[in-house]
Amino acid sequence: MGMDMYAENILDHYKNPRNFGKLNNPTGTYKDSNPLCGDEVEIQLQLSGDKIDDVAFTGRGCAISQASTSMLTEQIKGKEIGHVKKFTQQDIVSMLGISIGPTRMKCALLGLRTLQKGLWGMSAPSDLTNLQ
């Protein structure tokens, strides 16, 4: 897939985010923001045991932050929490399919950081704590 196709995919997720909205009775709701650029994300999960049955998100911000969160929600629905906790920065970059500079990396990782801070009980895993 060429860079143009990846850029089109990012714009599609930005304009038509998947799993956007709120759940009726979420098991957990996690919020975070990137104050440097104003991006905000709220992720809601419906958990059943050790599995993510459903996920929804709301937010505002740049195309990268919103698209990466949309893509992330598609990846985690139906997955076990233990698997989702192992998602890394590289997983997000691979999912986006474009080169991300240091400034935009915080935007790209906002959804993952929000999700993992919630799943880890508001204590981000060590590989994400440097992103704040």
Residue 13 above 50 pLDDT? yes
* Section 101-113 average pLDDT: 94
- Is 72 within the bounds of a domain? yes
Q: What is the DSSP string of 34-77?
A: ETTTTEEEEEEEEEETTEEEEEEEEEES-HHHHHHHHHHHHHHT
Residue percentage of the chain with pLDDT more than 70: 87
- Is 131 within the bounds of a domain? no
Contacts of 13 (CB under 8 A, 6+ apart): 66, 67, 68, 70, 71
Residue 33 above 50 pLDDT? yes
- Is 33 within the bounds of a domain? yes
Instruction: Tell me the CA distances in angstroms from 96 to 6, 31, 66, 83, one per residue in order.
Output: 7, 22, 11, 19
Residue 62 above 60 pLDDT? yes
- Is 132 within the bounds of a domain? no
- When divided into structural domains, the chain yields a total of 1
pLDDT band at 108 (very low <50, low <70, confident <90, very high): very high
Range of the domain at 64: 3-126
Whether the pTM exceeds 0.75: the reply is: yes
pLDDT the model gives residue 130:
41
Residue 18 main-chain phi, psi, to 5 deg: -85, 145
